[in-house]
C-alpha cells in the first residue's frame, strides 16, 4: 500500500536500519530512518503522517519509552514494535501503550508489510475522523447559543414540550429555534442532527 504516508524506522542497529530501508524502498514505501528514540523526538513534527517502526530494545531511550513519550505529547501515529527479544510481557506493555502490532525478529517480510499496511489504514481512518469532527464543529459555529441549547436537548430525545420548561421558553419558541437550526445545518431529521452533534463533539 505505498502512498504519500511515511514509514519512520527507529532502530539503533545500523544493519537493521539498512535492511529495513532497502526492503521498504524496494516495496515502494517512503521512509525516514533514525538511529534512536532521542533522534526521532528531536526531529518529530505533529503533522507527520504514516506509521512508526520501532525496535523495543535500544541503547538510551528504548522503544516503549519512546512510545509512551509520544503518547504523552498527543501523537496518535500508529506504531509497529519490532524486537529480537520478544516476550509476552513486552508485547502486553506495547499493546497497552497502543501499539498496532508487535513483530519478533527475524520476521517474515510479508508479515511486516501487512502490519505496516494495517497501520497506514488506521492512520487514514484516524485522520478522516478528525477531519469529520472539524467539519462538524464548523457547522455548529453557525448556530446561536440558544439554538445550540435546543439542539443539545433535541439530540437526547427530548420532545418540544419537555424542552420548553427546561429552557424557560414556550413550545412555539422551541419549534422556531429547532426549525432554524435544522435549516442552518441543512438537515431534515433528528438522526442527521445527532450525527452532526457527535461530529462536532456535542455528544
Per residue in 22-75, pLDDT (tens digit) is: 999 999 999 999 999 999 999 988 778 888 999 888 888 888 888 888 877 777
Please report the sign of the dihedral spanned by the C-alpha atoms of residue 166, residue 169, residue 170, residue 171.
negative
Task: Indicate if 96 and 185 belong to the same structural domain.
Answer: no
Rounded to whole angstroms, the Cα distance separating 200 from 203 reads 8
Give the domain-ending residue among 131, 156, 182: 131
**Residue 107 — very low, low, confident or very high, per pLDDT cuts 50/70/90?**
confident
DSSP for 155-197, please give it. TTT--HHHHHHHHTS-HHHHHHHHHHHHHHHT--SHHHHHHHH
In a domain, 136, yes or no: no
pLDDT exceeds 90 at position 1: no
pLDDT exceeds 70 at position 179: yes
Task: Indicate if 99 and 155 belong to the same structural domain.
Answer: no
Count of domains for the chain? 2
Give the domain-ending residue among 96, 131, 166: 131
pTM above 0.85, yes or no: no
Give the domain-ending residue among 108, 131, 154: 131
Residue 194 is predicted with a pLDDT of: 79
Are 80 and 99 in contact, with CB atoms under 8 Å apart?
Answer: yes
pLDDT exceeds 60 at position 78: yes
Q: What's the CATH code of the domain at 159?
A: 1.10.10.10
Paired residues of 82 in beta bridges: 55, 103
In a domain, 137, yes or no: no
- State the angle between helix axes of 145-154 and 160-167 in degrees (0 to 180), rounded to the nearest 10: 130
pLDDT exceeds 90 at position 9: yes
Domain that holds residue 49: 6-131
Residue 34 is predicted with a pLDDT of: 96
Rounded to whole angstroms, the Cα distance separating 18 from 119 reads 21
- Residue 59 makes CB contacts below 8 A (sequence gap 6+) with 12, 36
Paired residues of 53 in beta bridges: 9, 80
CA nearest to 168, candidates 186, 188, 146: 146
3-state secondary structure 8-69: EEECCCHHHHHHHHHHHHHCCCEEEEECCHHHHHHHCCCCCCEEEEEECCCCCCCHHHHHHH
Task: Indicate if 122 and 169 belong to the same structural domain.
Answer: no
Paired residues of 102 in beta bridges: 81
Of 153 and 194, the one with more pLDDT = 153
Residue 2 is predicted with a pLDDT of: 56
Amino acid at each position: 500500500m505505498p502512498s504519500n504516508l511515511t514509514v519512520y524506522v527507529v532502530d539503533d542497529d545500523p544493519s537493521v536500519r539498512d535492511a529495513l530501508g532497502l526492503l521498504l524502498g524496494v516495496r515502494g514505501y517512503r521512509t525516514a530512518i533514525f538511529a534512536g528514540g532521542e533522534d526521532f523526538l528531536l526531529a518529530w513534527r505533529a503533522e507527520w503522517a504514516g506509521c512508526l517502526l520501532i525496535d523495543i530494545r535500544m541503547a538510551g531511550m528504548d522503544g516503549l519509552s519512546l512510545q509512551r513519550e509520544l503518547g504523552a505529547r498527543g501523537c496518535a501515529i500508529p506504531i509497529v514494535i519490532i524486537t529480537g527479544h520478544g516476550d509476552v510481557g513486552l508485547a502486553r506493555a506495547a499493546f497497552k501503550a497502543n501499539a498496532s502490532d508487535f513483530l519478533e525478529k527475524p520476521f517474515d517480510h510479508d508479515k511486516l508489510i501487512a502490519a505496516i499496511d494495517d497501520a497506514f489504514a488506521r492512520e487514514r481512518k484516524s485522520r478522516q475522523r478528525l477531519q469529520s469532527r472539524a467539519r462538524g464543529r464548523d457547522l455548529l459555529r453557525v448556530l446561536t447559543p440558544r439554538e445550540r441549547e435546543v439542539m443539545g436537548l433535541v439530540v437526547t430525545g427530548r420532545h418540544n414540550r419537555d424542552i420548553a420548561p427546561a429552557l424557560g421558553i414556550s413550545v412555539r419558541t422551541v419549534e422556531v429555534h429547532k426549525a432554524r437550526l435544522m435549516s442552518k445545518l441543512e438537515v431534515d431529521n433528528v438522526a442527521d442532527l445527532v450525527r452532526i452533534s457527535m461530529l462536532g463533539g456535542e455528544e
